[in-house]
Amino acid sequence: DLFVVLAVSLLLSWVLALVHVPIHANSYLKLDSQDSSEEVFNSPLYRKFRGMLMVFLRHRFITLLCVVGVLLVSMACFRFLPQTFFPDLTYNQIYMEYKLPEGSRIEKVEKDLREIADYLGSKQEVTHVTISLGGTPARYNLVRSIADPSLRYGELIIDFRDNKAIDTCMKEWQAYLNSRYPDAFIRLKKYNIMYMEFPVELLISGPDPQVLKNLRDSIQEIMRDEPSAALVTDNWDDPVLDMNINYDQRLGRRSGLTRSDVGMSLLSVTGGIPVGRYYDGNISQDILLKTSGYERLDDAQLWNAVPNLNALADESGMKGLLMGNGDKKDLITGITYAKPLNSVTDSLRYVWKDPVVYRYNAQRSIIVQCNNASGFTAENTRQALEKKIQEQVHFPKGYTMKWLGEYKASADSNKYLFMNFPIAIIMMFGILVYLFRDFKKPIIIFLCLPLAYIGIVFGILVSGKPFSFVAIVGALGLIGMMIKNGVVLIDEITAQMNAGVKPVEALLAASSSRLRPVMMASGTTILGMIPLASDAMFGPMAVAIMGGLLVGTIITLMIIPVFYALFFKIKCD
């Protein structure tokens, strides 16, 4: 949508320039006879400009070597740029993810979250704390990842008076909550467009779960020892104790109990069977059918506790009970008629089992995750971890690793961003060839485009902004601005030569006459980017455009004439 808006806006501005400007110029602008163009171009500024340009034209090869050298230096400096996909947004709000081990009850989650909400609400920096149980609140914010619904999960949405104290508070509160609730996974997080769950994620895949766990443990140990990594975790939970009952079909047929009867019976003495929902205004609660007397189960009790739930198969009886028309005693009598569990099973044992097994491309996979520590970007952390993992972790045959997180999100976005880039370049080059009826002039313009990279790199280095996705968008936008300035200058050079002016004089006169228009166009664009420069999201784009356009303007006015003289073999005697 961003690029569609830009395309439509530029198209309308072109129409406006062709219609609106000539009409109003004819009405309001009057020719001043006292200030001729010759007097303007003889001012000290223009004389110095022409003198400098003449030096560049006479020493064209040295000039181009110096420009290429500066370009190489800027390319070498690129590795010093802090790189990120999208920066955190500057909201006066953060959120906290809270997750207990598998099998935990929602009541425990609610109790802990209320304690934490009271603790955070007492801070003077906080204005309001909202609790959400079981998942992410719907439709309150689109700029964040959505958690999987779970009874062991909850969130806090924390509002601040302003965003100045957020970083300090997050660091302090994270340490306190980790020590206060050691069994829970707690993460305080800012809003970010990046759709991955963690900024640094490593996917390991293979056939054997135990080998995957060993690899995970080795990688997590490296992450915990890495200063640039924080909050190490993974997407597999700890194993849970699972009750394994071996149903005997022969004994079941003899007793008249099916496998589903046994399962429903066990559910009635453990979690309860959902039979309906109770609504009180906006609050709803599950209605559970549970067998009394088994609040604290042990193996011996469970071994003999199989209520006969065949009565639940009678839908009319259940509907009548819920509507108040049925006989409760008859239903209770039917349900409480019990047979021993050992009459339909031959064993009962407990086993440790993974509650959730994730797969990627049909292979068992674990995603090892962590945050980048304060003062480090996700890419800094990933590069440091990648080197150590390659040196210290051996992957058996059939086991692979793949970086996800911000690294994959950035790679995917850049892939789609540059997917049609070659087509756009070919179309722009074709338009320039059609415009000039020449191949040399479009080549001159395109040779100057990479030189804007100099201004982008040094602009971001000076500002301290990260080189993010929006900075790449800004760099692509510079292509059109550079081409526009180049077309204006080369068209003027061609017009001067067609008027019979000597080639060298045509280069000097054209550059002088285009100095003010090109500088004004670039200057107004740079000034228009200043309000965005301090923004966390669009600041890198603004700095990239400002720096690239500043250098690009100098390139247009100084280097294009040098390339022109070189390509068309113009001598400067």
Rounded to whole angstroms, what are the CA distances from 567 to 281, 428, 442, 489, 560? 80, 20, 11, 16, 10
More confident residue, 362 or 222: 222
Residue 109 has pLDDT above 90, yes or no: yes
For 292-331, b/e burial (b = at least 16 CB within 10 A) is eeeeeeeeeebeebbbbbbbbeeeebbebbeeeebeeeeb
- List the single range of 76-80, 107-111, 310-314, 448-452 with lowest mean pLDDT: 310-314
User: What digits encode the pLDDT tens for the residues 321-379?
Assistant: 566 665 656 555 555 556 677 778 877 788 888 888 889 888 999 999 999 988 888 88
pLDDT tops 70 at residue 408: yes
Query: Residue 32 above 70 pLDDT?
Result: no
Mean pLDDT across the stretch 407-425?
87
Between 6 and 447, whose confidence is greater?
447
**pLDDT tens digit string along 499-512?**
888 989 999 988 88
Domain positions in the chain: 36-86+414-567, 89-191, 197-239+354-403, 258-353
The answer on pLDDT for 498 being more than 80 is yes
At 3 the pLDDT is 72
How far from the centroid of its chain's Cα atoms is residue 371's Cα?
A: 13
Interval 273-300: pLDDT, tens: 888 888 888 777 888 887 765 555 555 5
Q: What is the pLDDT at residue 207?
A: 92
CA distance 209 to 205: 9
- Among 28-32, 145-149, 473-477, name the one with the lowest average pLDDT: 28-32
Secondary-structure class of domain 89-191 per CATH: alpha beta
Digit-coded pLDDT (tens) for 331-342: 555 555 566 777
Residue 338 contacts residue 255 (beta carbons within 8 Å): no
Q: Which amino acid, residue 109?
A: V
What is the tens place of the pLDDT at every residue in 188-212?
A: 998 888 778 899 999 999 999 999 9
Average pLDDT for 178-195: 89
User: Is 188 in contact with 173 (CB distance < 8 Å)?
Assistant: yes
Asked if pLDDT for residue 317 goes beyond 80, the answer is no
Q: Which two tokens stand for residue 29?
A: 């602008």
What percent of the chain clears pLDDT 70, i.e. is strictly above it? 89
Structure confidence at residue 135 as a pLDDT band (50, 70, 90): confident
Does residue 400 surpass a pLDDT of 60?
A: yes
- For residue 312, pLDDT beyond 90: no
Q: Which fold has domain 197-239+354-403?
A: Alpha-Beta Plaits (3.30.70)
Q: What is the pLDDT of residue 16?
A: 83
Is residue 564 within 8 A of residue 507, CB to CB? The reply is yes
Angle at 89 between CA 86 and CA 94, to 5 degrees: 125
* Per-residue confidence (pLDDT) for residue 311, from 0 to 100: 46
Q: Tokens for 544?
A: 């990239």
94-104 average pLDDT score? 89
Least confident of 238-247, 384-393, 447-456, 475-484: 238-247
Would you give the distance in Å from CA 334 to the centre of its chain? 57
Q: Which CATH superfamily is domain 36-86+414-567 in?
A: Multidrug efflux transporter AcrB transmembrane domain (1.20.1640.10)
Residue 543 CA to its chain's centroid (Å) = 20
Pick from 224-233, 437-446, 468-477: least confident:
468-477
Amino acid at 199: P
Q: Judge contact between 455 and 71, C-beta under 8 A.
A: no
Which of 84, 93, 86 is CA-nearest to residue 192?
86
Which pLDDT band holds residue 443 (cuts at 50, 70, 90)? very high
Stretch 210-226: mean pLDDT: 93
**Sign of CA pseudo-dihedral 301, 302, 303, 304:** positive
Burial class of 494 by CB neighbour count within 10 A (0 to 12, 13 to 18, 19+): middle
- Rounded Cα distance between 567 and 493, Å, is 14
Q: Can 36-86+414-567 and 89-191 be said to share one CATH topology?
A: no
**Cβ neighbours of residue 462 closer than 8 Å, sequence gap 6 or more:** 547
What's the chain's length in residues?
573
CA distances from 381 to 113, 330, 522, 569 (A): 31, 66, 38, 52
Distance, in Å, from the CA atom of 26 to the CA atom of 18, rounded to the nearest integer, reads 13
pLDDT value, residue 564: 92
Provide the mean pLDDT of the chain. 84
Please tell me the pTM assigned to this model. Answer: 0.73
Element (H, E) at 133: strand 126-133
Work out whether the CA dihedral 557, 562, 567, 571 comes out positive or negative: positive
- For the chain, the C-alpha Rg in angstroms (whole number) is 35
**Eight-state DSSP code of residue 83:** B
Q: In sequence order, what are the residues at sequence separation of 6 or more whose Cβ sits closer than 8 angstroms to the Cβ of residue 545? A: 474, 477, 478, 481, 525, 526, 529
pLDDT score for 313: 47
Residue 303 pLDDT: 53
Q: What pLDDT shows up at residue 38?
A: 60
